[in-house]
Amino acid sequence: MGSIIGDSPIIIPTHCKAGVVVNEGPDFHVEVQMVPVPEPGPDDVLIKLNYTGLCSSDIHMMQGDLGVPPMSTFGVRSPGHEGAGVVVKVGANVTTFKVGDRAGIKPIMDTCGSCGHCWDDKETYCKKATHTGLMVAGTYQQYLVSPARYASPIPDGVSDEVAAPVMCSASTIYRSLIESNLRAGAWVVFPGGGGGVGIQGVQLARAMGMRPIVVDTGDSKRRLSMEMGAEAFVDFKEVADPTKAIIEIADGVGAHGVFVTAPAAYKTAVSFTGDRIGSVVMCIGLPPIGSMILGDDPCAFVFKNLTIKGTLVGSRRDVAMTLDFARRGMLKHVSEVYPVNRMPEAVEKLRKGQVAGRIVVNFNWEE
């Protein structure tokens, strides 16, 4: 893993900057405030984050519309789960990290480590998992404590700006690509593929030999999608029948796989598979709970060997594998960078769906 060790001693402040949710619920907003810097326990590391990614799940957490207890239930005021930075203090029992090592924080802060899910690479489904930005302070806060066993080492050759979104969005779509069991040469559709999760999926799918098609709208997302490896871009506002267009691109048959990162696309996701036998629709994006139903006539599942499957976030192994794609230049920077004092503005931009690629916030930059 990479290290950053200077000649000067590391000075840890008593307080740090954090994006704090105010008026939790449908009318929330974010303010940048000073909050206490936490103290690591004997098995923990204290990480000073240089960057945090902003994820649509953060909006759900602040709005409280996923059917889980709100952040305030746990006394949490800062969401976020995509952090990259440097270890500035280690607990007495920690041997896997030292001060100066680079490390990342993920959507899961810790798990029990002893259940069947944890033993079977399904750790993100652990019933005792601690969810970052919900149950404990998230990466909108610059200094965070993480159990050393669950922090992710960041390798040399991957900047923090790139590594932060890998902690969630890139490793999440990587996990979905792996669980789809699709092979090289498969046509894969990314509805909303111009967004943060989708555009990283386009790059990873291309690196795995698949043939990505992006469904989105706008010139900026078209350019980004094609630059990042999409074979085709279908603008749903310009094309009269996007489903027909996709089927024609995909050999006149239909997609082998559809990776739904934009919840609004669940309504048409199955149609993109056309007459393809053995196709799979992967559910990734989270709509507000109870707002949408996905399915089809059972005969379609039988006669088309159709699969609909959901995946959650990436495991520690998934994060390590995705970081390696980035290290090898197969997963590139697709982020718009905001200074920390403009974090509230960045959150609002994400909330309104105005982001091409990903937004990251630089804690070391103010305007």
Kindly report the CATH number assigned to the domain that includes residue 152. Answer: 3.90.180.10
pLDDT at 195: 87
pTM attached to this predicted model: 0.94
Mean local confidence (pLDDT), 217-246: 96
Q: Does 189 share its domain with 266?
A: yes
Given a cut of 90, whether residue 57 has pLDDT beyond it is yes
Q: How far apart are alpha carbons 146 and 152 in whole angstroms?
A: 10
- In the chain, the percentage of residues whose pLDDT exceeds 90 is 88
Where residue 358 falls among pLDDT bands split at 50, 70, 90?
Answer: confident
pLDDT at 295: 84
Domain membership flag for residue 1:
no
pLDDT at 6: 53
Kindly report the CATH number assigned to the domain that includes residue 305. Answer: 3.40.50.720
* Residue in 273, 337, 336 with CA at minimum distance from that of residue 309: 273
- In the chain, the percentage of residues whose pLDDT exceeds 70 is 98
Q: Does 119 share its domain with 197?
A: no
Domain membership flag for residue 143:
yes
CA 253 vs. chain centroid, Å, equals 31
Q: Does 163 share its domain with 286?
A: no
Q: Does 143 share its domain with 109?
A: yes
pLDDT at 296: 85
Q: Does 129 share its domain with 210?
A: no
Q: Does 163 share its domain with 220?
A: no
Q: Does 225 share its domain with 203?
A: yes
Predicted confidence (pLDDT) per residue in 142-195, tens digit: 999 999 999 999 999 999 999 999 999 999 999 999 999 999 999 999 999 988
Predicted confidence (pLDDT) per residue in 2-26, tens digit: 555 555 578 999 999 999 999 999 9
Q: Does 263 share its domain with 328?
A: no
Q: Does 218 share its domain with 261?
A: yes
Q: For the chain, what is the domain count?
A: 2
Predicted confidence (pLDDT) per residue in 304-329, tens digit: 999 999 999 999 999 999 999 999 99
Q: Does 244 share its domain with 299?
A: yes
Mean model confidence pLDDT for the chain: 95
Range of the domain at 264: 172-310
Domain membership flag for residue 163:
yes
Q: Does 135 share its domain with 247?
A: no
Domain membership flag for residue 60:
yes
Q: Does 302 share its domain with 331?
A: no
